[in-house]
Structure 1
Amino acid sequence: MNKVSVVIPAKNEAAALKGVIPRLLKLDCIEEIIIVNDGSTDNTEAVCKEAGVTVITHPYSKGNGAAIKSGARAVSTNVVVFMDADGQHSPEDIPKLLEKLETGFDMVVGARSSTSQASAGRLVANSVYNRISSLMVGQKIGDLTSGFRAVKTKLFKEFISILPNGFSYPTTITMAFFRAGYSVGYLPIIADKRIGKSHIRPFKDGVRFLLIIFKIATLYSPLKLFFPLSLLFFSVGAGYYGYTLVEMGRFTNMSALLFVTSILVFLIGLISEQITSLVFLAAKSKDK
């Protein structure tokens, strides 16, 4: 087994890293550990330097996704493992991810069990994401938002330009891999409770989670979202036209509006599909 790199985005995670880093250093499969200090105000950087691992420091907080991208650009091995700095992910699971990766997958994700979710609300949200994304790609997605994953570095870098700077990078990279036809596997894991205070904000992140649902659909195949909507408007228009024809003997403006809306929604979906294809094509061409 070739040695791999581990990339960990960290913002004010000094307390957790004191326990995580020593456990990583004990693993023979790891070539380098890259901690991306995302504008921390605690002693995260000092803890990392004291442990002798590579540290990339952002002068200010750019976001979890931005930290992931900074770390990925610095990777020197063919395989990279991404994990959180808060102690939820067990370093001892890394060999298991790599073992499954070697069976023919391009990316293997650590799928959290229902008992490993931070709260009941997060469990419900993640279950919805998994179901919707599974329907979109036609494959079972075990954990769409997990930040614990092993992936072939070259393939990951193909999509760096389209990854968001915020917390939804796992969603984007997962759907991008499925869209590109790469193989994605899932490995059941048990996630521990995080050490320290969570950076999740209920209201703001609740809105963000709703946006992720739409992003899942539009990122993979927009027509799968827009065509059913178009069909719904057309069906309602046809039904209303049938009713007014029988009751009034005429074609109403409401029926015309519903038919026109149906056509517009379909065309928007068609254009979105082409734009999405061009975005992925541009991302792959830029990497080459």
Structure 2
Amino acid sequence: MRLSLIIPARNEAKSLADLLPRIFALNLADEVLVVNDGSSDDTAQVAKAAGARVIHNPYRMGNGAAIKNGARHAQGDILLFMDADGQHDPADIPRLLARLDEGFEMVIGARSFASQASLGRGLANGIYNGLASYMTGQRVEDLTSGFRVVRAEKFRQFLYLLPNGFSYPTTITMAFFRAGYALSYLPIVAGKREGKSHIQPLKDGVRFLLIIFRVGTLYSPLKLFAPVSLGFFLLALGYFLATWRFTNMSALLFTTSMLVFLIGLVSEQITALMYKDD
């Protein structure tokens, strides 16, 4: 089976100059695609000189958009994604491919807590992983890792769901769980990135959290709506028992509880329709 290695890159000329020769030295990929996401440095020239096939986004469209563009142009049956900033070690690629051959549809390189870029990022990713584990009923070891190998046919089924920003790993992981595809995690050690990160902690942190809830509603809406509904119900019941009167506030809280639960039921049916062909 043909392997396409896809690297989204924005202003990563320095790290690519070191990364690409190490990738080609492995002689595993049938093609290496670097998606140049509107870089203002020599990213495209460095990638082309190293032997990679360069795909150009005319302006900065986002990491997720670069991933989708690369997936559309890739010719391989297997897609391998890795970051251009030097954090991912090409020596781990054979291990990912070997795990995929064990019968999985996607294998994700899972970073340890020590490999996180900062303490804050590590704690945030821990929260994301915990919430995703609750939603899926499966242990999610690294929800945001960009180092993964996946079968192209399965990946392209969910291109329409993927956002254009930095959270494509979150969405594709949850979508694979929802579709019932087999996933596996492989422990990796991520190095220190070259250059400056494009992620803005506060802005992108809030965005990641919103995306997790958005993806949660796509995966299993009742797991989000039911606890909220129960919370309103218990609040209404507590208010009634405390006052021993059925007031307008009691009615409002009970009605809100019922409406939230019904919205969850409707969302659950809509979600089932989205995955009817999987």
TM-score range, shorter chain: over 0.9
1:56-205 to 2 correspondences below 5 Å: 56-205=55-204
Corresponding residue SS for 2:21: helix
Q: Equivalents in 2 of 1:102, 1:164: separation in Å?
A: 28
Code of the aligned partner of 2:192:
K
* Deviations, residues 81-121 of structure 1 (Å, cap 9, x unaligned): 00000000011101100000111110000000111100000
Deviation at 1:160, TM superposition (A): 0.5
Task: Give the corresponding residue for 1:28.
Answer: 27
In the alignment, is residue 260 of structure 1 matched against residue 259 of structure 2? Answer: no
Aligned-partner Cα distance in 2 for 1:124–1:212: 17
State the AA in 2 paired with 1:259: F
Aligned equivalents of 1:9, 1:228: Cα separation in 2: 38
Work out the CA distance in 2 between the residues paired with 1:55 and 1:275.
39
> Secondary structure at the residue paired with 1:35?
strand
Partner of 2:229: 230
Question: 1:244 Cα shift?
Answer: 2.4
Of 104-113 and 43-52, the range deviating more from structure 2: 43-52
- Whether the 8 Å CA contact 2:230–2:257 is kept in 1: the answer is yes
Alpha-carbon distance between aligned partners in 2 of 1:216 and 1:32, rounded to the nearest angstrom: 31
> Contact conserved, 1:37 with 1:58, CA < 8 A, in 2?
yes
Contact kept in structure 2, 1:125 and 1:209, CA below 8 Å? no
Aligned residue-pair number: 278
Query: Matches of 2:139 and 2:272 in 1, distance apart?
Result: 23
3-state secondary structure, aligned to 1:40 = coil
Give secondary structure in 2 for the equivalent of 1:199: coil
C-alpha distance in 2 between matches for 1:3 and 1:93? 18
- Indicate if the aligned counterparts of 2:170 and 2:212 stay in contact, CA closer than 8 A: no
Which of 266, 269, 274 in structure 2 is aligned with 1:271? 266
Give 1:234 deviation, angstroms: 1.1
- The alignment status of 1:240 with 2:239, answered yes or no, reads yes
Percent of residue pairs bearing the same amino acid type: 61
Could you say which residue in structure 1 is the equivalent of 2:50? Answer: 51
User: SS of 1:133's equivalent?
Assistant: helix
Deviations 1:41-65 (A, max 9, x none): 0011111111121000011010000
**Deviation per residue, 1:257-278 (Å, 9 max, x gap):** 1100001111121222223333
Superposition deviation, residue 3 in structure 1? 4.2
The aligned amino acid for 2:250 is S
- The 3-state SS of whatever aligns with 1:103 is coil
Tell me the TM-score normalised to structure 2 length: 0.96
| 203-212 or 231-240, which deviates more | 203-212
**Matched letter for residue 190 of structure 2:** A
CA distance in 1, matches of 2:173, 2:109: 12
Q: Quick one: distance in 2 between partners of 1:72 and 1:228? A: 37
Q: Is the 8 Å Cα contact of residues 144 and 169 (structure 2) preserved in structure 1? A: yes
State which drifts further: 176-185 or 219-228. Answer: 219-228
Deviations 1:194-231 (A, max 9, x none): 01111011221132133133234223111101011111
Aligned mates of 1:77, 1:197 — CA distance in 2? 31
